[in-house]
Structure 1
Amino acid sequence: MKQVVIIFIVLTAILSCNKSNNNQELESRVKIVKPIAEDSDFGFNYSEFNVIHDTIKRGDTFGTIISKQNIGDRKMFEIVNSVRDTFNVRYIKPNRAYTMLRSKDKTNKLQVFVYQPDALSYYVFDFRDTTVVAYKKTRPITIRRRTIGGVLKGSLSETLGNAGVEAALASRITKIYSWSIDFFKLKKGDRFALTFTERFINDSIYDGVENLEASFFEYKGKIIYAFPYVQNPASGKVGYYDEDGKTLKNFFLKTPIKFSRLTSRFSMNRYHPVQHRWKAHKGTDYAAPTGTPITTTASGTVERTGYTAGNGNYVKVKHNGTYSTQYLHMSKILVRRGQHVNQGDVIGRVGSTGLATGPHVCYRFWKNGKQVDALKLNLPGGEPMNSANKSRFLKTIEPLKFELDSIGNL
């Protein structure tokens, strides 16, 4: 029995040892596996060089980088002089990529230096001849078109992000619809559809949205379309119109802040959170982080700026003989009395000055000298499309609208 136990222990040890050796061998194999490098770029075959990829560090200059390389007897001033017609070496900036191609012999001599100021372009400095040759190249751009749609599954930015679209498109869309949609009120489940084009560098590297060709959003149960159209080719100015050729641009923007939260409405009897009593609240409150830009909702002249104990820092803008608006509780005023402002200009920053429990802007609206609820007004629209253009416009948008409807209603 004792001999059987001994044999069992020996066999177990041997198997364990073999297993351990196998694991070590597997680990060893894993460690030496290297990713396959790209074969070429910038017009050079990487297999012919020792390739080094790096990034410009703060404090680096063209001179400090090149002078540390094996470049033979070349003088730096000669190199700079050779390339000055192509590239100003002082323009090298931190966090930009560069690539060095070195010879494969024992000298490991610098053959080519490539600087990439952005994803689209690059500069090549070729050291292989007696004179340094420098030239600039631009990568080819491919434009692809796509249509996405369905229902919102979060904010507009989140929905676009989930579809792999750059966040900048959300800001562009918000600006286009700023006269007709309050994006704070869009909700999950609202339908949308977008047709747009995107740029790709070398047919593979995503470089953002090129153009928005058409869109619609469901807002308060209504579908609102937007189609870009140039009424006057001489001006080249793009306007956005709905499916009937009506302009989306109104005299007033919907809100004075982008991407904020409506926290209190116009009311003749509201409990004041600071004074702890019931009183009229003749404005609409939008909460946003301190420092958020506040924009004037229509063009006009700054009628008043100043500070009061209740309003804090404020700006009042007179738009015409009928309408005026006021913006309260600013952390900073950025305009002066008598100054002309255009619709969408930043006139101040969100704060909590005066009687305020947190950072927000109280937006007040006057019509014929009387304070009214801006959210309930039927505000004047923008310039309509002229009749000469309308038939051409309707024919142009017909296939675009069909495409949006096909995917947006799935």
Structure 2
Amino acid sequence: MKYLLYILPALFLLLSCEEEIKEDDSIVPLSEEEIITREYGYTLNDFNVVRDTIRKGDTFGGILNENGVNNSKIFEVATRFKDSFDVRRIVVGKPYVLLNSKDTLNTTQVFIYEKSKVDYAVIDFRDDVSVNLFQKPIKYVEREDSGIITNSLSVTMEENNLSPAMTERLANIYAWTVNFFKLQKGDRFKVVYTEKYIDDTIPAGIDKIKAAYFEHKGVPLYAFGYNNDSLHGFDFYDEKAENLRRAFLKAPVKFSRISSKYNLKRRIKYYGYKLRPHKGTDFAAPIGTPILATADGTVTESERRGGNGNYVKIKHNSTYDTQYLHMKSRNVRVGNYVRQGDVIGWIGMTGNTGGPHVCYRFWKNGKQVDPFQEDLPASKPLPTEFREDYYAKIEPLKTQLDCIKF
């Protein structure tokens, strides 16, 4: 009996809760018209909303003319606001939104153009015309990933459901220390990075890589991103604060293959097996692929001549020069100063060549040498005064990398 006294109130309370839930279930949900929707800073319920994408043949003026905006306002946007929004540069495939008046005229009052997943322009035609550029709220989420090379870096990324952008990011970080044309099966990597999300759910790409680990031929290579207000720019260093950059990139073309190596003892059947030394390294790639300067320097030659075809030669310092042959076209002139990674031309088939490639030639003290056999100079390590701060910041990142499983 005593237990019943405790059970009955609880049972009554349970029944009361069930009754309340039943009453809540009977509430009629709001209609779509009654739900207030806000986007891009506007209450969409106040407009007739049209969503579309730029199609081939579309123009800014054409779209708005069709939706009742007069030519004077279109002209004002095209001239007065051309520095912030160039109406000639709307791109096919990009989405846009029209906020039209809720009357019989259905005239566009606001035009919203999404330049990217994050950036958008708002042109408001009500009263005085205004143009404003905005960014959608971005959330940054830290992620960890790893992989084991089975074929190429890009194939491995695909197998691990990683963004193709990750391939380029890692290739850029390790461009000076890893020859990505000679990755071995079993090479592996780990990475800690941040990814961008719009409205908490829409992926907007990789933000930045915080730390990475690449094991090539059994040799571990750590990379930690570091910047300090007193330093000139963000860079990657290893666990000993050595800069991962070298004075020269490993190759002048991204993600191509070596079709012919530097070989002073080369003999070719076509020429009767006579000795025909090859003093360059050929990188095969499709016509039009960008060719990059492998180091900072000054252009000393940029011309078309004989078997070289279109070519560029760069003097980097008193010791090193590089040359790039068989270009489709050149992007620099004699006297231009170029930075490492600048596009100096494009892959072609000019001069003596059997297929699209760039012949990369490398001089040391006036003599052509094989760059892959040279101990090329490294960039300067992190200055001593920053090392205490650097070591403190990378310690938890290194522990985090070491704990990631392949």
Q: TM-score, normalised by structure 1?
A: 0.74
Matches within 5 A, 1:308-387: 308-387=305-384
- Pick the aligned partner of 2:174 from 173, 177, 188: 177
Cα distance between partner residues in 2 of 1:76 and 1:345: 42
- Pick the aligned partner of 2:246 from 243, 247, 250: 250
CA contact (8 A) 2:73 2:125 kept: no
Q: 1:267 to 1:64 in 2, by over 3 A?
A: closer
1:189 aligns with 2:160: no
Cα distance between partner residues in 2 of 1:343 and 1:90: 31
Q: 1:286 to 1:372 in 2, by over 3 A?
A: same
CA contact (8 A) 2:98 2:111 kept: yes
Q: 1:40 to 1:159 in 2, by over 3 A?
A: farther
CA contact (8 A) 2:301 2:313 kept: yes
Cα distance between partner residues in 2 of 1:132 and 1:99: 20
1:223 aligns with 2:217: no
Matching residue's letter, 1:53: R
CA contact (8 A) 2:191 2:213 kept: yes
Q: 1:264 to 1:41 in 2, by over 3 A?
A: same
Cα distance between partner residues in 1 of 2:323 and 2:75: 58
Q: 1:274 to 1:333 in 2, by over 3 A?
A: farther
Instruction: Tell me what 2:51 maps to.
Output: 53
How many residue pairs end up in the alignment? Answer: 366
Matches within 5 A, 1:8-407: 40-42=37-39, 51-57=49-55, 60=58, 64-66=62-64, 68-69=66-67, 77=72, 91=87, 93-95=90-92, 96-100=94-98, 107=104, 109=106, 113-118=110-115, 119-120=117-118, 121=120, 123=122, 125=124, 138-230=135-227, 233-272=229-268, 275-279=271-275, 280-407=277-404
Larger deviation, residues 43-52 vs 147-156? 43-52
CA contact (8 A) 1:330 1:352 kept: yes
Matching residue's letter, 1:330: M
Q: 1:45 to 1:223 in 2, by over 3 A?
A: same
Displacement, 1:356?
Answer: 2.0
Q: 1:133 to 1:296 in 2, by over 3 A?
A: closer
Q: TM-score, normalised by structure 2?
A: 0.75
Displacement, 1:397?
Answer: 0.8
Q: 1:112 to 1:374 in 2, by over 3 A?
A: same
Superposition RMSD in Å:
3.7
CA contact (8 A) 2:332 2:345 kept: yes
Larger deviation, residues 289-298 vs 371-380? 289-298
Unaligned runs of 5+ in 1: 1-35
Displacement, 1:100?
Answer: 4.5
Matching residue's letter, 1:255: A
Instruction: Tell me what 2:25 maps to.
Output: none
Matching residue's letter, 1:123: V
Query: Deviation per CA, 1:331-372, whole angstroms, max 9, x where unpaired?
Result: 333334444333333333222333322122222222233322
